[in-house]
Structure 1
Amino acid sequence: MPSTSKEPFLEAATKKRLLFDGAMGTEIQKLNPHPEDFPESKDGFNDGLILTRPEWIKKIHRSYLEAGADCIETNTFGSNKFKLDEYGYGGQTVEFNRRAAQLAREVADEFDGNRYVIGSMGPTGFLPSSNDPDLGQKPLDEIRDAFALQAEGLILGGVDALLIETSQDILEVKLAIQACHQAMEKVGKKVPIIANVTLDQYGKMLLGTNVQAAYTTVSDMGIDFFGLNCSTGPTEMEPSIKWLAEQDLPVLVMPNAGMPHNEGGKAVYNMSPDEIALRITEFLKSYQNVRLIGGCCGTNPNHIAKLRKVLESSI
């Protein structure tokens, strides 16, 4: 049964730094899934494994908690209505996300102490700020509604916070934040909002927005954290983190295991747990406003275990 005495997520993050999990997709690939493992044999429908292979997803969640993570993300990165429509599940967006959140919650409740479930909300695949004839023409209210259905399901499933992540268009981030507030009002329950953007090695989002403009655009929209995830390793993130750490909102940092390298047509991440731990240690020592840390692409429970040791040191 869920603990009734759990400290609220925001309070916990104020008192101490919290550790998020690492990558989900690469951990799924390690299980060597076959087409028949996915719903209706729709190969690559990773989010759909909550329906057909829930034990796999629970195993991955559990591995991160065993490594010392305080927070696990739901397996819903691609579970907004547009993405689910691609697999024929768009009409079930609310229930689909609710189930994914409940799955993570079941695992988190196996562990003692404060363990938090974070609702993962990845991009829609559209770029509303662009003039692209395909990606830039989706009506803004449809994008907002697609996120609102996802957020509603995640809240109903019991998440402790919502994470808008790997965002490449700041207008889409605004729409997602509005959608989160809309869903909270509908459900009648408020949860913290974390807004993460993805920057390239030059500190820009896909459409050229820098971190200062991105932060300024959304920081007064009722969000609780602003952060960076994916795209680069920690080294490339540092100039942006340095600037963010001087702002009002607490910061989440979730780098990849270094910059990706193409090997045989696949992205490979070579940064070791020790290397990531060293760089994150430097961030934590230098920037008090970095309150949440974790890993993105290429990180696994070994990386998270090293970061646990970093947090348990005398920083």
Structure 2
Amino acid sequence: MTQKEPFLNALKNRILLFDGAMGTEIQKYNPKPEDFPNNQDGFNDGLVLTHPEWIKQIHRDYLNAGADCIETNSFGSNKIKLDEYGFGDQTIEFNKKIAKLASEVCDEYSDKPRYVIGSMGPSGFLPSSTDPDLGQKPLDEIQESFRLQAEGLILGGVDALLIETSQDILEVKLVINACHEAMKNLGKKIPIISNTTLDQYGKMLLGTNVQSAYTTVSDMGIDVFGLNCSTGPIEMNPSVRWLDDQNDHDILVVPNAGMPENEGGQAVYKMTPEKMGHALGDFLDKYKKVRIIGGCCGTNPEHIKVLRKVIDKRANNPSNG
């Protein structure tokens, strides 16, 4: 097998396309409690054990739509989250299995390099807050929880680690430290992508703005800084504009399919693939540091197909950019 172009080299050479949402694609299989390990309804990451073929097919659907990169189905697989489902003592093996599954799917494609991105979602705690429940988890316990996850993902062969949907900048720092620790332990270095999640006013859940968030982590050995989830692309524009001016790190932009709308107690995302493609195409035209785009909540392979066309059109007609 020929050597794959390293992820950061690819990032320098072209815009990379991430996949779309995982949870809504899983829901299309209409899973029942008995489909999850130990009947634990909603334990999506656990489907690697009970329905790996579902997850493989979702990965394939996104790769067939044109994604360069797929995220592992490990969003909630830090040790703290896995403890809730009784799998915390298997954190390394569990994440390794999830990453290997994604790698196997990428290996089915030989047309161009496909990358596996290790997804690391939040712990569910907010270490910066004074909340009597959410703010009381010891910092070293949070960091250790993510170190175990990072080691598993690296052992499973991911091409980069993605800290995503982050609500608390202190936790982001802990996860970055955990990633570096895992790499040191394993003697293997891979890129770190550090995302924050901002509301429509450009603030993280606890009030940190994009300027403070970026300044806090930009010198911690990360390779890409990004924004994902919470809003659609339109609301991200002021923050992306500011980040582009910093000229230090490449930028990832992975928005939802618009702002969520409440329908019968359910969050519904209504931005069409075409509208999302137009908005992210504008970002690529205006902001030279945006090197990764993709979709978060409410996006599906149809959104990714349109984003593929948006990228290819600009690659074939550079005068657009």
TM-score (norm 2): 0.97
- Is residue 130 of structure 2 the alignment partner of residue 134 of structure 1? no
Q: Which residue in 2 is equivalent to 1:101?
A: 99
Written as runs of structure 1 = structure 2, the 5 A alignment for 1:56-75 is 56-75=54-73
Q: Please state how far the C-alpha of 1:5 moved relative to its aligned partner.
A: 1.6
Written as runs of structure 1 = structure 2, the 5 A alignment for 1:211-290 is 211-247=210-246, 248-290=248-290
Q: Which residue in 1 is equivalent to 2:174?
A: 175
For residues 49 and 263 of structure 2, what CA distance do their matches in structure 1 show? 32
Q: Which residue in 1 is equivalent to 2:155?
A: 156
Amino acid at match of 1:47: D
For residues 42 and 137 of structure 1, what CA distance do their matches in structure 2 show? 26
Q: Please state how far the C-alpha of 1:180 moved relative to its aligned partner.
A: 0.1
Q: Please list the CA deviations of residues 76-129 of structure 1 after superposition, one character each: whole Å capped at 9, or x if unmatched.
A: 000000100000000000000000000000001101211000000000000000
Helix, strand or coil: the match of 1:84?
A: helix
Q: Which residue in 2 is equivalent to 1:307?
A: 307
Q: Which residue in 1 is equivalent to 2:294?
A: 294
* Aligned-pair identity (%): 73
For residues 94 and 175 of structure 1, what CA distance do their matches in structure 2 show? 18
The gaps in structure 2 that reach 5 residues or longer are none
For residues 25 and 9 of structure 2, what CA distance do their matches in structure 1 show? 31
Number of residue equivalences: 313
Q: Please state how far the C-alpha of 1:264 moved relative to its aligned partner.
A: 1.5
- Is residue 203 of structure 2 the alignment partner of residue 204 of structure 1? yes
Helix, strand or coil: the match of 1:167?
A: coil
Q: Please list the CA deviations of residues 38-91 of structure 1 after superposition, one character each: whole Å capped at 9, or x if unmatched.
A: 001110000000110000000000000000000000000000001000000000
For residues 236 and 74 of structure 1, what CA distance do their matches in structure 2 show? 27
Q: Which residue in 1 is equivalent to 2:74?
A: 76
Amino acid at match of 1:35: P
For residues 177 and 11 of structure 2, what CA distance do their matches in structure 1 show? 23
Q: Please list the CA deviations of residues 264-305 of structure 1 after superposition, one character each: whole Å capped at 9, or x if unmatched.
A: 111100000000000000000000100001000000000000
Q: Which residue in 1 is equivalent to 2:16?
A: 18
For residues 261 and 63 of structure 1, what CA distance do their matches in structure 2 show? 26
The gaps in structure 1 that reach 5 residues or longer are none
Q: Please list the CA deviations of residues 229-265 of structure 1 after superposition, one character each: whole Å capped at 9, or x if unmatched.
A: 0000000000000001112100000000000011111
Amino acid at match of 1:271: M
For residues 267 and 214 of structure 1, what CA distance do their matches in structure 2 show? 27
For residues 302 and 5 of structure 1, what CA distance do their matches in structure 2 show? 30
For residues 262 and 27 of structure 1, what CA distance do their matches in structure 2 show? 20
For residues 260 and 49 of structure 1, what CA distance do their matches in structure 2 show? 26
For residues 74 and 173 of structure 2, what CA distance do their matches in structure 1 show? 19
For residues 71 and 142 of structure 1, what CA distance do their matches in structure 2 show? 30
Q: Which residue in 1 is equivalent to 2:29?
A: 31
Amino acid at match of 2:74: T
Amino acid at match of 2:279: R
Amino acid at match of 2:197: T
Helix, strand or coil: the match of 1:162?
A: strand
Helix, strand or coil: the match of 2:194?
A: strand
TM-score (norm 1): 0.99
For residues 252 and 95 of structure 1, what CA distance do their matches in structure 2 show? 29
Q: Please list the CA deviations of residues 198-226 of structure 1 after superposition, one character each: whole Å capped at 9, or x if unmatched.
A: 00000000000000000000000000000
Helix, strand or coil: the match of 1:118?
A: strand
Q: Please state how far the C-alpha of 1:20 moved relative to its aligned partner.
A: 0.2
Structural RMSD (CA) = 0.6
Q: Please state how far the C-alpha of 1:4 moved relative to its aligned partner.
A: 3.8
For residues 211 and 190 of structure 1, what CA distance do their matches in structure 2 show? 27
For residues 234 and 256 of structure 1, what CA distance do their matches in structure 2 show? 7
Helix, strand or coil: the match of 2:135?
A: coil
Helix, strand or coil: the match of 2:245?
A: coil
